Every structure is written in C-alpha cells, then in structure tokens.
C-alpha cells in the first residue's frame, strides 16, 4: 500500500503596527514596484500596513527558501495574487486587514489565506443580500450583535481563502456556502477546496484553504522579526 | 434604446457623485475622493468595505446590483465602479 505525504501549509500571523525601525527595515526589503504601490496610498496608515505586510512576506519566503529577502522577485497574477518569479517551488498567499496580517506558504499546491478584523456595517443586511440563504439565516440568528459580526466575519474569511486558493474572483463566489462543511465547492471555476478556520487574534477571524478535498496539516505561528 | 443609454449615463454620474461621499463613510475617515481615485491602490478599500459600499448604494438608489461580473482587474477607480454599477443594476 502506498502512502502519500500529507500537504503542509504554514501560516504566520503578525501585527503591522510596528516600531519605526522595523518599518524602515521592511521598506528596505521592497523592490521598486512595491515602493511605488506603497507611495500611492492616501493614508499613511495604509502605507505602513502595506510595507510591513510585504516586508514580512519577503522575510517568510526568504527564510523558507534560504534566499536573501531583498532578492526575491514577484509578478502580480490575475486578481492581484503575487507569485514568485522564478517560481522556486513555493506557493504563497498574503492577507492584511487593519493592523493584522497573515502569510501562508505551501510547497505542493496553491494556497489562500485571509485574515479579517471583525467586519463593520450591517452584517445581517449584507449576509441577507449577498450570501446563500442558509448562511444569511446563520448570521441573522446569532444571539447578539457581537456574535453576528463574528459569524459574518468567519464566513467572509472562508470565502476569501477559497477564492484566493482557486486564484479566482470573489464576486461570483459570494453565494458559495462555506458555513457547514470544510470541503466547499467553488462556483467559478468549479471544484472542491478544503478550508480550515485557524485561531486568530481576538476580534478577528483567520482561514486558510487549499484546492482539493484532501486533508492537510496546518502549522500556525506568530511571525518573529528576528 | 437611446433613452436607455441616456438613463445609464445619468445614473452613472449620480452614482459616482454619491460614491465620493459614501466611500469616506465606509472608510470611517476624512478623505478627498474623486471619480479618478483608485479604490484599492490609493484608498485601500478592501473587498468587505466594497460590499458595504454596494449595499449603501443599493439602498440609496433603490437598485439591485449584479455583482457576479465584477472584476477588480478591470474596476480600478471610483468612476469604473460607478460605470459597472450603472450597467449591471436593475431598479427594485
């Protein structure tokens, strides 16, 4: 009987409200394209979050590949998903929201990660309008406002993680049910994905997904700058 | 037919104007927004905030927006999104 090694996904979480020296170090790691993108943000806060998230992404990949973080090169694929070029055998996904960020790597398959601070706005109305009916009921039936927000945010991160793993757009997949089962069917393009909720900082949600129905190992850690 | 085109163009202008105010509201920040503002690259508007914005626009204009065709690779500015909405929504 042959056995196939289970895929392993590594997910690092971090805060992007870092000390000025860390921010400067991250900025030093970025290439011209990333610096231009950082410079375009209207708000300084968004600039800082972008610089730190992309600096951390480079450090994670550099450590895993044994390559200086500055020397890594990316191309931006469809739907904004970055890809290492040359590929180097490591898939990645980056997500940041407010002062939180997550970096996922996967040697074998594309990966999608999403971290989301509790969504603001009328979550019951948004779920009712845009999610599958059973998911809308799940959000609306929450015992209080905080759990409604947490339920909505959980569903949101699961959908985002799946569409990122699939390398596709969120919008045709908003109605994709993700609340009851971990193997979910992406609508466009069609295909199963396995999504996993991970422990997230309080007031946020974190999910990771890989294509296919097979189970995989997830290693989660707090990113360290040194 | 000509009237439909006229209506879509007018709706697009009204939506773009409303968005210059509504974007600041969903971002919960004071920010100067024009039709040329880049949604993600300049304003850092996330997908969940875009969803919130769409819901606000649906309520304000009493329309239903078909989100399925939306593609961030083609919708870059406030004006692009207004154009998409004007051409992918129905009155309710």
pLDDT at residue B14 greater than cutoff 90:
yes
In 3-state terms, what secondary structure has residue A105? strand
**Average confidence score pLDDT of chain B:** 91
ipTM, two decimals: 0.92
Which residues 138-157 of A have a C-beta within 8 angstroms of B?
156
* A37 and B CB contact within 8 Å: yes
Chain A nearest-CA distance from B41, in A, is 6
Which residues 50-109 of A have a C-beta within 8 angstroms of B?
50, 78-80, 97
Where residue A1 falls among pLDDT bands split at 50, 70, 90? very low
pLDDT tens across A135-172, in order?
999 999 999 999 999 999 999 999 999 999 999 999 99
Half-sphere exposure of A62 (CA within 13 A, CB side): 18
Cβ–Cβ gap A120/B28 under 8 Å: yes
pLDDT tens across A60-116, in order?
999 999 999 999 999 887 777 788 988 889 999 999 999 999 999 999 899 999 999
pLDDT at residue A127 greater than cutoff 70:
yes
Q: Which residue of A has its CA nearest to B37?
A: A42
Cα gap A147→A175, rounded to integer Å: 21
Which residues 4-43 of B have a C-beta within 8 angstroms of A?
26, 28-29, 31-32, 37-38, 40-43
Substitution target from A170, A172, A173 for chain B, most B beta carbons within 10 A: A170
Cα gap B85→B61, rounded to integer Å: 11
Q: For chain A, what percent of residues have pLDDT higher than 90?
A: 88
pLDDT of residue B1: 47
The pTM score is 0.94
Better-scored residue on pLDDT, A1 or B87:
B87
Q: Which residue of B has its CA nearest to A37?
A: B41
CB contacts, 8 Å: B68 with chain A: 171-172
Cα gap A61→B88, rounded to integer Å: 40
Where residue A189 falls among pLDDT bands split at 50, 70, 90? confident
* A132 in Cβ contact with A178 (< 8 Å): no
Cα gap A113→A92, rounded to integer Å: 9
In 3-state terms, what secondary structure has residue B34? coil
pLDDT of residue A11: 98
Q: Quick one: A35 exposed, middle or buried, by C-beta within 10 A (0-12, 13-18, 19+)?
A: middle
CB contacts, 8 Å: A169 with chain B: 70-72
Cβ–Cβ gap A160/B68 under 8 Å: no
pLDDT tens across B46-91, in order?
999 999 999 999 999 999 999 999 998 899 999 999 999 999 999 9
CB contacts, 8 Å: A43 with chain B: 29, 31, 44
pLDDT at residue A2 greater than cutoff 50:
no
C-alpha distances out from residue A88 to A11, A59, A106, A120, B54, Å = 18, 15, 12, 39, 39
Q: Which residue of A has its CA nearest to B52?
A: A121
């Amino acid at each position: 009987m042959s056995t196939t090694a289970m895929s392993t996904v590594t997910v690092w979480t971090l805060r992007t409200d870092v000390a000025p020296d860390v921010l400067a170090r991250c900025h030093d790691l970025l290439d011209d394209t990333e610096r231009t993108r950082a410079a375009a943000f209207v708000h300084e806060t968004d600039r800082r979050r972008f610089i730190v998230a992309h600096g951390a992404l480079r450090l994670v990949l550099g450590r895993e590949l044994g390559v200086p973080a500055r020397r890594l090169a990316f191309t931006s694929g469809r739907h904004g998903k970055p890809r290492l070029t040359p590929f180097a055998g490591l898939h990645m996904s980056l997500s940041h929201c407010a002062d939180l960020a997550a970096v996922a790597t996967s040697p074998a398959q594309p990966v999608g990660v999403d971290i989301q601070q509790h969504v603001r706005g009328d979550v019951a109305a948004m779920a009712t309008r845009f999610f599958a009916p059973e998911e809308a009921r799940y959000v609306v039936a929450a015992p209080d406002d905080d759990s409604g927000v947490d339920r909505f945010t959980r569903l949101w991160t699961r959908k985002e993680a799946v569409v990122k793993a699939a390398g596709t757009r969120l919008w045709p997949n908003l109605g994709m049910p993700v609340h009851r089962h971990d193997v979910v069917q992406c609508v466009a393009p069609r295909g199963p994905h396995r999504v996993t909720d991970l422990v997230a900082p309080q007031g946020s949600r974190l999910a990771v997904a890989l294509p296919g129905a097979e189970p995989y190992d997830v290693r989660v850690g707090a990113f360290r700058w040194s | 037919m000509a009237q439909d085109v006229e209506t879509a163009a007018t709706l697009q202008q009204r939506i773009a104007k409303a968005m210059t105010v509504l974007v600041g509201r969903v971002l919960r920040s004071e920010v100067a927004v024009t039709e040329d503002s880049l949604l993600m690259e300049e304003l850092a508007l996330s997908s969940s905030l875009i969803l919130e914005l769409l819901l606000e626009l649906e309520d304000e204009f009493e329309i239903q927006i078909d989100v399925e065709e939306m593609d961030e690779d083609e919708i870059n500015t406030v004006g692009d999104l207004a154009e998409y909405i004007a051409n992918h929504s129905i009155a309710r």
